[in-house]
Amino acid sequence: MSVDQSRKAKSSVNADEGSVFATVRNLWTYMWPADRPDLRLRVVLAIAALLLSKVATTLIPFAYKGIVDSLDGSQPNNTLVMGLAVPIVLVIAYGLGNIIDAGFQQLRDVLFASVGQNAVRKLAYRTFNHVHQLSLRFHLARRTGGLSRVIERGTKGIEAIVRFTMLNIVPTLVEFVITAVIFVYMFGVSYLGILVVTIWGYLYFTIKASNWRIAIRRDMNNSDTDANSKAIDSMLNFETVKYFGNEKMEAERYDRAMAGYERSAIRIWTSLGVLNFGQAVIFYAGFIIISVMAVNGVMNGTLTLGDFVLLNTFLMQIYRPLNFIGFVYRELRQGLTDIEEMFKLLEQPAEIVDKPNARPLVVTGPVIRFDHVSFHYDPDRPILKDVSFEVPAGKTVAIVGPTGAGKSTISRLLYRFYDVTGGAITIDGQDLRDITQDSLRAAIGMVPQDTVLFNDTIGYNIEYGRPGASHEEVRKAAAMAQVGPFIETLPKGYDTPVGERGLKLSGGEKQRVAIARTILKAPPILILDEATSALDTKTERDIQSALDIVSANRTTVVIAHRLSTVINADEILVLRSGTVAERGNHRDLLAQGGLYAQMWNRQREATEAEEKLRQTANDPDGFVKTVAPAAE
């Protein structure tokens, strides 16, 4: 299903709407996959198995009637069939009928298992893929735990809808029709009238009560999403929780969210009890009326004792699918409630999409040019204002400036996480809006300030730069990033797990792994987004030498906080309030005595103070002295 198809489907996936079948029609592609004839065959065979089980179900009561009639004394019992008395033959037939019924029902479930699971997988895949197509703006606002819960509930909901619709509703209706014909033929229209009124009342009450429970289910889903989001958020920020000793506060915060879930869950079970009791009252009221009519028929001689048993057996057999229809409807409504949030997610449009005629990027230089670029997240708060500069092929341009000047926004625009609101960005004369995003991002390598690794091995995280690279290529990239010797000292080497977000590694080690995977990617364009600002001075110097190797002969944009890392750049741009305030090389900018010179002097003084503090912290013998806080 395409994104457009998903949007169409979503327009009918609303648990408040009256027609479940309208939703089923829009979800038909999952139940009858066009690209899987084997699954279509399974659907046909599953329905055939189910219909055969219904035939067995319809015939079983007649065997039961025959048993009772043959034993009530009104007929001789010495008639033999295949050498056995008729009652015994009928008992065997009754038992075999139930075995056949059970066998075909299980065969149905076995055949349909692949169809249901394929539907779940396809929907989960499309949702997962769509989430990755959404904009950075969406992901900055999302809650990871809540998002995963929405997808989890949605995939389970689609399985329930697919399974119950295909295998239960239509065959049960067929069984009702067959039973109705039998009632009219054997017992008369009056019996059918009571049965129809009973079934109508049962279904009407079930639908109304199930619709009432939808709001409760939504509250429970929202509470579940909220609790899961808080749990995931707290686990991801485990160290922060420990830093401030807020374990109790986090537990209470989670408990408050779970209290809302508890209240909703209690209401769900209470409302279910009301629903089940109401259904029983309606059905057994009809059962009593029909049974009283049948008793009168037996007493008047118009019905046999076997007819009474047959009638009651049919009523019990009707109650089972009728009760199941109620269950199916409840599950369908619950499934719709569960998947509506996921289809809202599928409806969420991707902010950045390729043009229909977008072409792959052709790299010749590459030369990057910002041509009068303006950008804002909010029209009332411009970030970049008429910014123009060029990064020549194989050269390095650094962008510096105070916090909030718009430095990191430039890297996001270059990666096309957002589109410019004014001007244009080109690579070798090709506007980023006219080329495919895949080809653009394949040409750019990024080493960010905050390196987050996958919870896998070091080797996997380096190979992520170019999936499928050989182990030797991974080792070579690690060596160039100056992380190879460290990895070799580990007991498991490249198979060493790095933990969630890479927390088992130090900041410098994570940064070297990030550099290694960028080396492995071998992009013609490199972005260093404050790649060393979070590191200590010594580690920064070590990392900087690795970065110098990576950026050699590549068109490089360096976004820096520490000016010591950009002194060798071919050109330095100084941003202030979204505009280019100064530009030139390190020496020229110092000579200008402007903003760059002020920033340089402040950082140099801070570095000198740090060095002096480090030197005075140890006496000549190497023992650490107690150093008074600077404020004192």
> Domain holding 187: CATH number?
1.20.1560.10
Residue span of the structural domain in which 461 resides: 448-522
Instruction: Give me the pLDDT at residue 90, please.
Output: 78
Task: Quote the pTM value.
Answer: 0.62
Phi and psi angles of residue 78, each rounded to the nearest 5 degrees, phi first: -95, 5
| 494/137: higher pLDDT | 494
Tell me: do 128 and 144 sit in the same domain.
Answer: yes
Instruction: Give me the pLDDT at residue 432, please.
Output: 92
The interaxial angle of helices 305-347 and 86-133, nearest 10 deg, is 10
Q: How far apart are CA 449 and CA 615, in angstroms?
A: 28
Of 470, 504, 522, which marks where a domain is finished?
Answer: 522
List strands edge to edge, sheet with 555-559: 444-448, 525-529, 555-559, 396-400, 571-576, 579-584
Give the count of domains, the chain: 3
Residue 619 three-state SS: coil
User: Is it the case that residue 630 has pLDDT exceeding 80?
Assistant: no
Q: How far apart are CA 261 and CA 408, in angstroms?
A: 40
Half-sphere exposure in the Cβ direction for 525 (13 Å, CA)? 27
DSSP conformation letters of 201-245: HHHHHHHHHHHHHHHHHHHHHHHHHHHHHHHHHHHHTHHHHHHTT
Q: How far apart are CA 223 and CA 529, in angstroms?
A: 38
Tell me: do 492 and 539 sit in the same domain.
Answer: no
Tell me: do 410 and 263 sit in the same domain.
Answer: no
Cross-strand partners of 457: 497
Of 293, 319, 347, which marks where a domain is finished?
Answer: 347
Averaged pLDDT score across all residues of the chain: 78
Among residues 455, 560, 574, 434, the alpha carbon closest in space to that of 503 is found at: 455
Tell me: do 369 and 499 sit in the same domain.
Answer: no
Mean pLDDT of 193-219: 81
Query: Confidence band (pLDDT; 50, 70, 90) for 24?
Result: low
Instruction: Give me the pLDDT at residue 28, please.
Output: 72
Instruction: Give me the pLDDT at residue 622, please.
Output: 45
Tell me: do 425 and 508 sit in the same domain.
Answer: no
What residues contact 124, with CB distance under 8 A and at least 6 apart? 151, 155
Q: What is the pLDDT of residues 229-250, one digit of tens each?
A: 777 777 767 656 766 677 788 8
DSSP conformation letters of 336-353: HHHHHHHHHHHHSPPSS-
Tell me: do 368 and 324 sit in the same domain.
Answer: no
User: Is it the case that residue 103 has pLDDT exceeding 70?
Assistant: yes
Instruction: Give me the pLDDT at residue 434, please.
Output: 92
The interaxial angle of helices 170-186 and 189-236, nearest 10 deg, is 160
Tell me: do 333 and 425 sit in the same domain.
Answer: no
Tokens representing 310? 């047959």
Instruction: Look at residue 358 and tell me if it is in a domain.
Output: no
Tell me: do 538 and 390 sit in the same domain.
Answer: yes
Q: How far apart are CA 223 and CA 192, in angstroms?
A: 46
Q: Give how far the C-alpha of residue 47 lies from the chain's centroid of Cα atoms, to the nearest Å.
A: 31
Instruction: Look at residue 56 and tell me if it is in a domain.
Output: yes
* Cβ-contact 525, 447 below 8 angstroms: no
Which of the 8 DSSP states describes residue 35? T
Tell me: do 372 and 499 sit in the same domain.
Answer: no
Query: Confidence band (pLDDT; 50, 70, 90) for 213?
Result: confident
Mean pLDDT of 129-137: 70
Of 321, 347, 373, which marks where a domain is finished?
Answer: 347
Among residues 287, 332, 119, 318, the alpha carbon closest in space to that of 191 is found at: 287
User: Is it the case that residue 359 has pLDDT exceeding 90?
Assistant: yes
Tokens representing 297? 């028929």
Instruction: Give me the pLDDT at residue 6, please.
Output: 41
Tell me: do 565 and 460 sit in the same domain.
Answer: no
Q: What is the pLDDT of residues 535-575, one digit of tens each?
A: 566 666 766 777 777 777 889 898 887 788 888 889 999 99
Among residues 424, 418, 485, 426, the alpha carbon closest in space to that of 458 is found at: 485
* Domain CATH number, residue 411: 3.40.50.300
Tell me: do 309 and 272 sit in the same domain.
Answer: yes
Instruction: Look at residue 52 and tell me if it is in a domain.
Output: yes
Percentage of the chain modeled with pLDDT above 90: 8
Alpha-carbon distance values, 95 to 69, 98, 319 (Å)? 17, 5, 20
Q: What is the pLDDT of residues 473-531, one digit of tens each?
A: 999 888 888 888 889 888 888 998 888 767 788 877 888 888 888 888 888 998 888 76
Instruction: Give me the pLDDT at residue 535, please.
Output: 59
Instruction: Look at residue 216 and tell me if it is in a domain.
Output: yes
Tell me: do 531 and 574 sit in the same domain.
Answer: yes
Highest mean pLDDT among 112-126, 151-165, 231-245, 388-402: 388-402
Instruction: Look at residue 577 and tell me if it is in a domain.
Output: yes
Instruction: Look at residue 114 and tell me if it is in a domain.
Output: yes
Q: What is the pLDDT of residues 389-406, one digit of tens each?
A: 999 998 989 999 887 788
Q: Which residue has the tokens 């009056």?
A: 190
